[in-house]
Structure 1
Amino acid sequence: MFKWEQAFATRASRMKASEIRELLKLLERPDIISFAGGIPDPALFPREAFSAAYTDVLGGEGAAAGLQYSVSEGYRPLRDWLAGEMGKLGVPCKAENVFIVSGSQQGLDYLGKLFLSPKDTALVTWPTYLGALQAFNAYEPTYDRLNLAGNRTPDAYRATAAEAGGRVKFAYLSADFCNPTGETVDRAGREKLLDLAEELDIPVIEDAAYQSLRYDGEAIPPILALEIARKGDIEAARTLYCGSFSKTLAPGLRVGYIVAASPVIRKLVLMKQAADLHSSTINQMAIAHVAERGFDAQVAKVRAAYSHRRNVMLAALGKYMPDGVHWTKPEGGMFIWVTLPAGMDGAALLARSIETEKVAFVPGQAFHADGSGANTLRLSFSCADDATIEEGISRLSRLLKTERLAA
């Protein structure tokens, strides 16, 4: 029998199954209360709007274009609309600064491919989005902790990267209601990151997948907006803004985008041509149709639903959780991050939870590039109703009390 392992490239050894993808299989079990998958509620999808959009595209003159090959940059009307929306966020730009990808996950993969050579260092937060680590892992980097609260110097980052055999190549973070913690980087932290990036002379990858999902608190300008305010033009900016329609309109269409200076866009277009030519044309056309006619109303509907569920989960955590357990109080997004007492293990707890209490969540260790964070876990409230949240948190609390007594 042929030994496939000997034929694989060295990068294949860093490709591992996603714990979250595996946990999503639990959603098919009716006996499991799942707070695991950070997925949008399908009941909130604008199905009628998309039905009308596809009918319009396929029934009119756009049918030929929607079913045909297209340009790698993306559907021009969608890019024009996105440029207008970015302007509202303080990012004046043109369609030439907007690049469409097949979901923002593909965008992260492209950026990893564009910037990382083996042994180069990516600066990421502890914890960080697991999908980003998986995207970057294929390009064989090392990771260093991006700590905006501390006083670590640029020289310290450089020295650590040199010891690993490469250079610091970029800083990656999700600044708004991030996956997995739900936390937001304040304006001072964003400005500090820009200062660090200038000192290190590196790009900043701003993952804005949840930027539209603010429920309360004052909106903070995107990092890219703050940099443009400093430099006057997107062409002078080192920040790359990664956005998505997955959390607002529909994840199944796989339409995301990158907004950046034109030299970066030109390189990404070449990568797209080599990889899959272009993202689905008809899906881009449908997204443009729906977004132009009702994006703000759809976002308002989603915000109202998720804000309520967040409030219900926070209230349940306050009502049931034992002393020594702490959690974040996000102003938006889909997640609450729970920190257990030292010595507890989220992965072991999940196994017992599935067996005894029938409640699923995501252990936090997978979100840490250094393998720390065993005593943490992520809860998602996006797909659970009030009664389910109340019952699930009650069961999880009961398990934690039992585990602490056993210890």
Structure 2
Amino acid sequence: MLDWEHIFATRSSRMRASEIRELLKLLEQPDIISFAGGIPDPALFPDEAFKAAYNDIFSGSQVGSALQYSVSEGYKPLRDWIVGEVARIGIECTAENVFITSGSQQALDYLGKLFLSPSDTALVTWPTYLGALSAFNAYEPSYDQFSLNGNRTPASYRETAAKNGGSVKFAYLSADFSNPTGETIDLEARERLLALADEMDIAILEDAAYQHLRFDGEAVPPIMALDISRSGGIENTRTIYSGSFSKTLAPGLRVGFVIAAMPVIRKLVLLKQAADLHSSTINQMAIEHVASRGFDDQVAKIRKVYSGRRDAMLAALQKYMPKTATWTRPEGGMFIWVTLPEGMDGAELLAKSLATEKVAFVPGKAFFADGSNHNTLRISFSCTNDQMIDEGIKRLGRLVAGASVGEHPTLPII
């Protein structure tokens, strides 16, 4: 048999199966209460609106262009709608600054390919979105933890990057209700990051997948909006803003977008042409149809449901989780981050949980570039009802309480 390993590119050794994607298979098991996948509740999809959208496309004059090849930049009416939508949060741009991708995950892959040479450094939060690490890993970077409290100097980042054989290219972060912690970066920290990026002359990749899912608290301007304000216009910015319709309208259509200065957009278009030519035209048309007719109502609906589930999960954690554990209290999004007592291992706890309590979650170490912080886990409230949340957290709290007094789980991961 052919030995495939010796002819694979060296970058393939850094490709890993997503722990989250594997855990999503558990959703098919009826006896499992899953807090694992941070996925939207399909009961909240605007399915009737999409039925009407596709019907209008197929019954009208657009059907030919909907099924034809299209421009790599994306469907112009959708880009125009995005321009108007982001203007509401301080991002002034034109349609030429908007680039449509096949989900925001493709945007992360393209940006990794565009900026990272082998051994270059990506600054990331600790923890950070697992999908970003997976996307960047193929381009063989090093990672360094960037501090949001400003206690590291640009020289220290440069020195670490040089030791790893490259230079710092960008800082990546999710500023609002981040995956996995659910936390939001405050205004002062955003401004510090911009100052750091200016001094180091690096890009900022702002992942805004959860931008619309604020339940309470005061909204904070996007980093790109701050950048535009201080630099005088989008063409002078170093921030690259990526968004998605997956968390608001429908993830299965795979429509995301990037907003950036034109030099970045032009390069992304070239990457798109080489990869898949363009994102699905008919799906872009359907997204524009639904968004332009009812986006605000859809967002209000999902906020109301998810905020109630967030509240239910926080209440259950307070009721059932031992005092030796702590957790975040997000103002929006889909996630809560739990820190277990020192010495506990989230992956081992998951193994026992699946075997004995039938509760799934994501071990926290997957979100750390160095695989550290084993005593953490991510739980999601987006796809469970109040009864499931109460029962699932009760079981999980019972398991954590038992493990913290010596019942150390040792079953293998399944």
Question: Residue in 1 aligned with 2:320?
Answer: 320
Return the alpha-carbon distance in structure 2 between the equivalents of residues 406 and 86 of structure 1: 51
- Please, what is the CA RMSD of the aligned residues? 0.5
**Per-residue deviation, 1:405:** 2.2
Name the structure 2 match of 1:127. Answer: 127
2:341·2:404 contact (CA, 8 Å) conserved in 1? no
The aligned counterpart of 2:329 is 329
User: Per the alignment, in what secondary structure is the counterpart of residue 379 of structure 1?
Assistant: strand
Measured against aligned partners, the alpha-carbon deviations of 1:31-61 in whole angstroms (never above 9, x if no partner) come to 1000000000000000000000000011100
- Structure 2: how far apart are the matches of 1:150 and 1:90? 25
Counterpart of 2:228 in structure 1 is: 228
Shift of 1:86: 1.2
Distance in 1, matches of 2:317 and 2:87, equals 39
CA distance in 2, matches of 1:96, 1:342: 50
Q: Is 1:169 equivalent to 2:169 in the alignment? A: yes
Displacement of 1:321: 0.7
- Output the CA distance in 2 between the equivalents of 1:204 and 1:309: 32
Q: 1:92 aligns to what? A: 92
* Distance across 2 between alignment mates of 1:207 and 1:405: 39
For the residue of structure 2 that corresponds to 1:99, the secondary structure is: strand
In 2, Cα distance between the equivalents of 1:52 and 1:187? 41
| 2:301 pairs with 1:301 | yes
- State whether structure 2 residue 204 is matched by structure 1 residue 204: yes
Deviation of 1:148 after TM superposition, in Å, equals 1.1
Q: CA deviation at 1:406?
A: 2.1
Aligned residue number for residue 41 of structure 1: 41
Please list, as runs of the form range in 1=range in 2, the aligned pairs for 1:3-402 lying within 5 A after superposition. 3-402=3-402
CA distance in 1, matches of 2:258, 2:401: 45
In 2, Cα distance between equivalents of 1:150 and 1:28: 44
Q: Which amino acid aligns with 2:312?
A: V
Q: In 2, Cα distance between the equivalents of 1:250 and 1:323?
A: 38
Letter of the 1:204 counterpart: I
Structure 1 CA distance for aligned equivalents of residues 254 and 386 of structure 2: 29
- Structure 2 SS opposite 1:406: coil
TM-score by length of 1: 1.00
Check conservation: 2:128, 2:173, Cα contact below 8 A.
Answer: yes
- 5+ residue gaps, structure 1, are none
Q: Quote the offset at 1:232 in angstroms.
A: 1.3
* CA distance in 1: counterparts of 2:232 and 2:78, whole angstroms: 25
Alpha-carbon distance in structure 1 between the residues aligned to 2:149 and 2:195: 13
Amino acid at match of 1:338: V
Distance 2:367 2:213 in 1: 21
What SS does the aligned partner of 2:405 have? helix
Matched residue of 1:177: which SS? coil
Give per-residue Cα distances to partners, 1:97-149, cap 9 Å, x unaligned. 00000000000000000000000000000000000000000000000001111
- Alpha-carbon deviation of 1:335? 0.1
- Residues 306-346 of structure 1 show CA distances to partners (whole Å, capped at 9, x for unaligned) of 00000000000001111110000000000000000000000
The one-letter code matched in structure 2 to 1:107 is A
Separation of aligned partners in 2, 1:397 and 1:128: 25
The Cα of 1:14 is off from its aligned counterpart by: 0.3
Secondary structure of residue in 1 paired with 2:382:
coil
Deviation at residue 175 of structure 1 after TM alignment: 0.2
Superposed CA offset, 1:150-172 (max 9, x none):
41000000000000000000000
Q: Distance in 2 between matches of 1:194 and 1:204?
A: 8
Q: Residue type matched to 2:323 in 1?
A: D
Cα distance in 1 between the residues matched to 2:90 and 2:307: 25
The residue identity in structure 1 corresponding to 2:53 is: A
Identity of aligned residues (%): 72
User: Over residues 186-224 of structure 1, what are the superposed CA-to-partner deviations in whole Å (9 max), with x where a residue is unaligned?
Assistant: 000000000000011000000000000000000000000
CA distance in 1, matches of 2:290, 2:159: 49
Checking the alignment, whether the CA contact within 8 Å between 2:212 and 2:299 is kept in structure 1 is yes
Residue type matched to 1:98 in 2? V
Deviations 1:224-282 (A, max 9, x none): 00011101100000000000000000000000000000110011001100100000000
* Structure 2 Cα separation of the partners of residues 405 and 153 of structure 1: 41
Q: 1:295 & 1:271 partners in 2: Cα distance?
A: 30
Provide the C-alpha distance between the structure 2 equivalents of 1:151 and 1:398, rounded to a whole number of angstroms. Answer: 38
Q: Secondary structure at the match of 2:332?
A: coil
- Asked if the contact 2:322/2:397 (under 8 Å) is kept, the reply is yes
Matched residue type, 1:267: K
Amino acid in structure 1 at the alignment position of 2:173: L
Question: SS of the residue aligned with 2:298?
Answer: helix
Gapped regions of structure 2 (runs ≥ 5): 408-414
Give the alignment's TM-score, normalised by structure 2. Answer: 0.98
- Structure 1 Cα separation of the partners of residues 104 and 335 of structure 2: 18
Q: Measure, in 1, the Cα distance between the counterparts of 2:317 and 2:325.
A: 9
Check conservation: 2:150, 2:192, Cα contact below 8 A. no
Residue 47 of structure 2 aligns to which amino acid in structure 1?
R
- AA matched with 2:393: I
